[in-house]
Amino acid sequence: MHLGVLLRLPLALSRAVLAALRGRLGALCWSLAPLSLHLPLPLSLPLSLPGWRRGRVPSPSAPPAPHRQREQRDEAAPTPTSVNYHFTRQCNYKCGFCFHTAKTSFVLPLEEAKRGLEMLKEAGMEKINFSGGEPFLQDRGEFVGQLVQFCKEELKLPSVSIVSNGSLIRERWFKKYGKYLDILAISCDSFNEEVNVLIGRGQGKKNHVENLHKLRQWCREYAVAFKINSVINRFNVEEDMNEQITALNPVRWKVFQCLLIEGENSGDDALREAEKFVISDEDFEQFLDRHRDISCLVPESNQKMRDSYLILDEYMRFLNCRNGRKEPSNSILDVGVEAAIKFSGFDEKMFLKRGGKYVWSKADMKLDW
């Protein structure tokens, strides 16, 4: 309707027409919402639309939280001291045992991610770990770089870390964001390149082990604590890594037992079939015994891993892994941290028992850079 015609109408009728127009526009926006999930930016409208709430991102792949979330209202909420935020599921590697696979391509808008991180800080978060997927895929590392800077500069978090396969990290990233990062953890499951290819960490002519050494040197030059994560599986369980780990000298060497998660790397609806990678508890203990003299080794069996991590997915939903699959809470952006975290399945005692709380700020590590 032309604005001049609208201005000549009685006031009450004009309001009715505006309300009708706004309602139709609101319906149109909701119908376009699934499409907007694959755009670089969400729809941004100056009108206050019916049913629209800032931060609520509808998604066909983000089902409503289970009915069990109507219960447990009286349970005390744990403190989110250390949070792992898997803001993307996309990855450039195809590790056969991956337990957080590319089931969606969704990534929150930067400002919404920052809003969620601020909510976590207010709830008691001291450490944030950014993971994926591969964190450096999104905007060539700019997205995670801006989150790292925000968490250190604005939120003043004691510890900010990233877990990456390392293949996409460039020195210019360290120059821009290295001072804000406490720990960089690089995934390396073998020092035999043929084994890395078997696992799924091969990427053409690039050598994963050679890149690991380059990243170690950049961490020294830009004062970032260096950490290594290794998943022990059928293809590397007999390997002796003592010499290589000693030479790299990470602040921590996290050694995980290959874990099955239904719907991720096991079961009919999974994108991976990790059964062939699984090892027994005895095999895992033998690997640990072979490396018992490495002081930075931090072992994590399946039992320790399953309930002792606070995991946020790409929608900022806590993932409960207690039943062998990832059951999501409501998003903290919709219901708040305290309401969502009650359904995380987080075992705070196991978190402390596995050494989840440690010296995690590089300012307190007193490392010889």
**Residue extents of the structural domains in the chain:** 82-363
Q: Which sequence positions are flagged as catalytic?
A: 91, 95, 98
Q: Is 187 exposed, middle or buried (0-12, 13-18, 19+ CB in 10 A)?
A: buried
Query: Average pLDDT per run of 10 along the chain, which is 369 residues long?
Result: 46 44 42 40 34 43 46 71 96 89 93 98 98 96 98 98 97 98 97 93 81 97 97 97 97 94 85 91 97 96 79 95 85 97 88 84 81
The per-residue pLDDT for 110 is: 98
Alpha-carbon distance 316 to 108, whole Å?
Answer: 9
302-to-244, 259, 354 alpha-carbon distances in Å:
25, 6, 12
Closest to 101 (Cα-Cα) out of 264, 324, 245, 281 = 264
- pLDDT tens-place string over residues 118-169: 999 999 999 999 999 999 999 999 999 999 999 999 999 999 999 999 999 9
Edge-to-edge strand list for the sheet holding 159-164: 297-300, 252-257, 225-232, 183-187, 159-164, 127-131, 82-86, 311-312, 317-320, 327-331
Q: Which residue type does 275 have?
A: E
* Helix (H/G/I), strand (E/B), else coil: 130: strand
The per-residue pLDDT for 75 is: 66
State the DSSP H helix or E strand holding residue 190, giving kind and residue range, or none if neither: none
Alpha-carbon distance 224 to 104, whole Å?
Answer: 31
Superfamily of domain 82-363: Aldolase class I (3.20.20.70)
Alpha-carbon distance 117 to 127, whole Å?
Answer: 11
